[in-house]
């Protein structure tokens, strides 16, 4: 059994920042050897900071600090039984992987594959990355000859890699819930296989499970960040048809209109309950949240929260003070609205 096949859900942070200089390299070597199953050689005083999230059959690591090192999987280490494939997506710095007769040098945003069953040498210079490690057998069932993918560079322009990158960034929340962890793991397998190049028999299965899940995840994240987007605008932003957007939402038991409405109501409620928007009128908040019809907004708000927008605002004012949760909600909303397309936010919306 490989280290990533254990029935474990865990999140951890590894850092050598607080260690004395002379203890940093030994701690780094121990962490890489025990948890990552790779040997590493680096400058003794170098500070390293990384986060790790693990679910059964999946390990996601993110290098938060620039790392300059020589990382190896020497031939004697192959006897440890670790049979994994690691997809590393470079975010900064220089990275070069030599494995077998292939040498891969990814650009920023590219992915590169390290196959644990073969010796490898990875050179890093001020590099940061996000890595996803999965069992070799899980990919081999979808890819004809997964072993030939050693040191394969996958372009950042690959649709599967782009979706995988966005999908794994939200992975800590998914694997925190064991009910969703295994489903998320399966989707990651599919996306990695599609990025490598699946076999003819497996391609339809991987595309259906992995691509659809990642596409829906990207769509819902976009709606949460930009709650006033229309169906047509959302489809255009993601390069797909409006009907396909509708199909993806319908497969989850909802519709785009209902999902967007719920997010807009959440934004409006948060603004009404936040001291940051105490001087805003209910009408201004409704428009900012994406509603062009005030009476429709009032009806849907009361149906959802069992109170009117004005009543909720009055309750907050009468208390005379704002809770920490409301302060945090206001800061989150302010950040969301700063990122939103203001033109789209102020367009009228009516789902009646």
Query: Contact, 274 vs 326, CB < 8 A?
Result: yes
pLDDT for 190 equals: 81
Q: 3-state SS string over 191-253?
A: HHHHHHCCCCCCHHHHHHHHHHHHHHHHHHHHHHHCCCCCHHHHHHHHCCCHHHHHHHHHCCC
Q: From its phi and psi, is residue 54 left (phi > 0), alpha (psi between -120 and 50) or beta?
A: beta
Instruction: Pick the most confident of 38-47, 189-198, 319-328.
Output: 38-47
- 201 burial level (CB within 10 Å; 0-12, 13-18, 19+): exposed
* Alpha helix stretches (DSSP H) within 69-177: 136-140, 159-169, 171-175
Query: Contact, 117 vs 68, CB < 8 A?
Result: no
pLDDT confidence of 324, banded at 50, 70, 90?
very low
Q: Is the pLDDT of residue 348 over 50?
A: no
Within 13 A of 266's CA, how many CA atoms are on the CB side?
17
Query: Contact, 136 vs 117, CB < 8 A?
Result: yes
| pLDDT tens per residue, range 8-38 | 778 889 999 999 999 999 999 999 999 999 9
Nearest CA-CA partner of 333 in 290, 303, 298: 290
Structure token pair of residue 125: 């210079």
pLDDT for 174 equals: 55
Q: Is the pLDDT of residue 334 over 50?
A: no
pLDDT for 122 equals: 97
CA dihedral defined by 233, 273, 249, 242, rounded to 10 degrees? -10
Q: Is the pLDDT of residue 307 over 80?
A: yes
Q: Is the pLDDT of residue 352 over 80?
A: no
In this structure, the chain runs to a length of: 352
pLDDT confidence of 182, banded at 50, 70, 90?
low
**How much of the chain exceeds pLDDT 90, in percent?**
37
Mean pLDDT of the chain: 81
**How much of the chain exceeds pLDDT 70, in percent?**
79
Q: How far apart are CA 288 and CA 337, in angstroms?
A: 8
Q: How far apart are CA 105 and CA 203, in angstroms?
A: 27
| pLDDT tens per residue, range 60-111 | 999 999 999 999 999 999 999 899 999 999 999 999 999 988 899 999 999 9
| pLDDT tens per residue, range 132-179 | 999 988 888 777 677 788 899 999 888 888 888 887 877 665 555 555
């Amino acid at each position: 059994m490989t280290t990533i096949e254990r029935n474990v859900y865990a999140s951890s942070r590894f850092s050598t920042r607080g260690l004395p200089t002379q203890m940093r390299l030994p701690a780094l070597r121990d962490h890489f050897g025990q948890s990552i199953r790779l040997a590493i050689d680096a400058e003794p005083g170098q500070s390293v900071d990384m986060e790790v999230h693990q679910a059964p059959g999946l390990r996601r690591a993110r290098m938060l600090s620039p790392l300059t090192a020589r990382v190896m999987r020497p031939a004697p280490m192959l006897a440890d039984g670790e049979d994994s494939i690691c997809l590393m997506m470079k975010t900064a710095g220089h990275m070069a992987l030599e494995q077998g007769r292939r040498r891969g040098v990814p650009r920023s945003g590219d992915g590169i594959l390290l196959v644990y069953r073969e010796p490898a040498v990875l050179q890093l210079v001020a590099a940061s990355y996000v890595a996803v490690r999965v069992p070799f057998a899980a990919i081999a069932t979808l890819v004809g000859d997964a072993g030939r993918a050693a040191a394969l560079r996958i372009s950042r322009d690959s649709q599967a890699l782009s979706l995988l990158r966005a999908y794994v960034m939200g992975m800590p929340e998914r694997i925190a819930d064991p009910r969703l962890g295994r489903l998320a793991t399966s989707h990651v397998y599919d996306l990695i296989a599609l990025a490598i190049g699946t076999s003819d028999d497996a391609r339809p299965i991987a595309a259906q499970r992995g691509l659809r899940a990642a596409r829906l995840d990207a769509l819902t994240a976009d709606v949460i960040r930009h709650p006033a987007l229309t169906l047509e605008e959302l489809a255009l932003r993601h390069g797909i048809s409006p009907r396909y957007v509708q199909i993806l939402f319908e497969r989850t038991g909802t519709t785009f209109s209902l999902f967007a409405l719920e997010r807009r109501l959440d934004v409006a409620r948060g603004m009404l309950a936040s001291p940051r928007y105490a001087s805003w009128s209910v009408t201004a908040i409704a428009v900012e949240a994406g509603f062009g019809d005030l009476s429709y907004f009032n009806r849907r708000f009361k149906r959802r929260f069992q109170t009117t927008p004005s009543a909720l605002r009055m309750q907050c004012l009468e208390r005379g003070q704002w809770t920490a949760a409301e302060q945090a909600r206001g800061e989150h909303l302010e950040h969301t609205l700063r990122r939103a397309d203001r033109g789209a936010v102020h367009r009228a919306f009516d789902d009646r």
